[in-house]
Structure 1
Amino acid sequence: MRTTVLSTLSLLPLLISTTALAIAVPDKPHLVTQGQAEIRVAPDMATLSVGVTALKPDSRTAKEEVDTRVAALFSSLASLGVSKKDIDSGNIITRPDYQYGKNGNPPKLLGYQAERQISIRLYDLDLLSQALNKILEQGVQNIQQVSYGRRNADELRQQARLAAVANARELAEELSLAVDRKLGEVYAIEYQPSRSGAPPRHYGMMSSKMGSEEALDASYVQNEIEFSDQVQIVFNLN
């Protein structure tokens, strides 16, 4: 785990207008510091988002085809140790699929498409390539994205938040000492949660050949994900 702290400051006398700042400041000498912290760690889980679809002449047949594929997918992933509690399966959606003609020709009904969105949580990244192949083997080619995360994400976010606060206070103490002033009480805190983690990797339509090539090279697994936070604090100066 790697933690980085960054900081910014503004030392404001009494005569500076407070309208330039979003945070509330006192009408007396004060110090504003902004602490930032980043924690970078390797992911220990991934969430795979896939869409299971089927196009059939009628909606009932399309639904049955999707349900069959989903059941086969669950069974296939179970061989990798993925349990049903780690899979979220959305409700099925059916809709007519039309081919729209040119030159004002009426649309042609191609059939009915059924779809279910599936979310799979994988807690062993060494099995990611195998999981992708298992999905493709079941005829599910719409692998929409893979998101990486940490099981202790809440704990890491709290660590980053507390490190940002400590960074802001440490900088304030250093600056107040440098200008021979005593750091007073906290007057105001401005906090907006930062977005943490790693952006998902989008795949879209994949073939079994693509899955096999990915299996040969696991370098597409995210190396690090980031948990960052920042806070702005206004201190009175005595």
Structure 2
Amino acid sequence: MKKKTLIIGILLLTVILSACAPTSGTAVSETRTVSINGTGKITVTPDMATISVGVQTKHAEAEEAMAENNVAIQAVMDTLSEFGIEPEDIKTSNFSVYPRNEYDNDGKITSTTFVVSNNVSVKVRDLDILGKVLAAVVESGANTVSGVNFNISDREAAYADAMALAVENARSRAEILVEAAGGKLGEVQSINAHISGGGVVYMERAAMDSAMASSEVPVSAGEMDLSVDVSVVYEIK
């Protein structure tokens, strides 16, 4: 009895599946689409900068080198605070202590000097004071400055504008193409975006070194280009 029930169940399932399957004569409607690329590009002026400054001290005794470094870096931090730079915008980026040996002709160590380096990364959100900050930190004891990186504080908003331009560009091109072929542009089926550009603008250390003797380092933020490329697939009505 169980075997008969199982056979009947299999036969019923086969009939149901056969009924659901499309016949060879059934027409399948295919969505016609067009794929197009678009580009959006905007130019922005940096409104902030990140500087890397530090203090390097040397002494025959590691403790003395450390003590001298602590005093100097604290003076740098105090200077930054005087310019209104918030503590959260100052971050230690590197700290190291290592021995530097001198050798004679036989390869024997003749003397050892301990080198202590302490570097901080600083965000300056007011570019009007940037030149004064650079000169002031050097005057207060910073003897390593690796450069200035200009950037924008709200990158998301800037890229959103570039994306909107890219999509608008893609739609305009798609409409021209489809209408020229006698069709009408439909809804978006898919979209992909690629963000490029927007790299930070650098002021090289060589340019800074030549200006550090002045009371205010001359700086120029310049401009940054942000670009977004999109690939959009539209339905053709």
TM-score band, normalised by shorter chain = 0.7 to 0.9
Q: Secondary structure at the match of 2:85?
A: coil
Structure 1 residues 33 and 213: alpha-carbon distance in aligned structure 2, compared to 1, 3 A threshold: farther
Q: In 2, Cα distance between the equivalents of 1:181 and 1:201?
A: 52
For residues 156-195 of structure 1, the aligned pairs below 5 Å read 156-195=158-197
Q: In 1, Cα distance between the equivalents of 2:104 and 2:186?
A: 74
For residues 1-238 of structure 1, the aligned pairs below 5 Å read 30-90=33-93, 92-99=95-102, 105-106=107-108, 109-203=111-205, 210-213=211-214, 215=216, 218=218, 220-238=219-237
Structure 1 residues 131 and 30: alpha-carbon distance in aligned structure 2, compared to 1, 3 A threshold: same
Q: Secondary structure at the match of 2:75?
A: helix
Q: In 2, Cα distance between the equivalents of 1:221 and 1:206?
A: 12
Structure that is richer in helix per residue: 2
Contact 1:198 1:226 in 2 (8 A): no
Matched residue pairs, number?
208
Q: Using the TM superposition, give the Cα deviation of residue 34 of structure 1 relative to its aligned residue in structure 2, in angstroms.
A: 1.7
Structure 1 residues 205 and 35: alpha-carbon distance in aligned structure 2, compared to 1, 3 A threshold: closer
Unaligned runs of 5+ in 2: 1-29
Structure 1 residues 213 and 199: alpha-carbon distance in aligned structure 2, compared to 1, 3 A threshold: same
Q: In 2, Cα distance between the equivalents of 1:100 and 1:184?
A: 78
Residue range with higher mean Cα deviation, 45-54 or 83-92 = 83-92
Q: What amino acid does structure 2 have at the position aligned with 1:224?
A: E
Contact 1:144 1:205 in 2 (8 A): no
Structure 1 residues 120 and 177: alpha-carbon distance in aligned structure 2, compared to 1, 3 A threshold: same
Contact 1:53 1:115 in 2 (8 A): yes
Q: Which residue of 2 aligns with 1:9?
A: none
Aligned residues with identical type, % of pairs: 26
Contact 2:73 2:141 in 1 (8 A): no
Contact 1:143 1:205 in 2 (8 A): no
State the Cα RMSD in Å. 2.8
TM-score (norm 1): 0.74
Q: Secondary structure at the match of 2:196?
A: coil
Q: Which residue of 1 aligns with 2:5?
A: none
Q: What amino acid does structure 1 have at the position aligned with 2:134?
A: L
Contact 2:65 2:115 in 1 (8 A): yes
Q: Using the TM superposition, give the Cα deviation of residue 56 of structure 1 relative to its aligned residue in structure 2, in angstroms.
A: 1.7
Q: Secondary structure at the match of 1:232?
A: strand
Greater Rg over alpha carbons, structure: 2
After superposition, what is the alpha-carbon deviation per residue over 1:90-117, rounded to whole angstroms, capped at 9, x for unaligned? 3522112234667x73455541111222
TM-score (norm 2): 0.75
After superposition, what is the alpha-carbon deviation per residue over 1:50-96, rounded to whole angstroms, capped at 9, x for unaligned? 23221222332222222211210111122222222221123522112
Q: What amino acid does structure 2 have at the position aligned with 1:203?
A: R
Q: Which residue of 1 aligns with 2:27?
A: none
After superposition, what is the alpha-carbon deviation per residue over 1:99-146, rounded to whole angstroms, capped at 9, x for unaligned? 4667x7345554111122211111221111111111111232321111
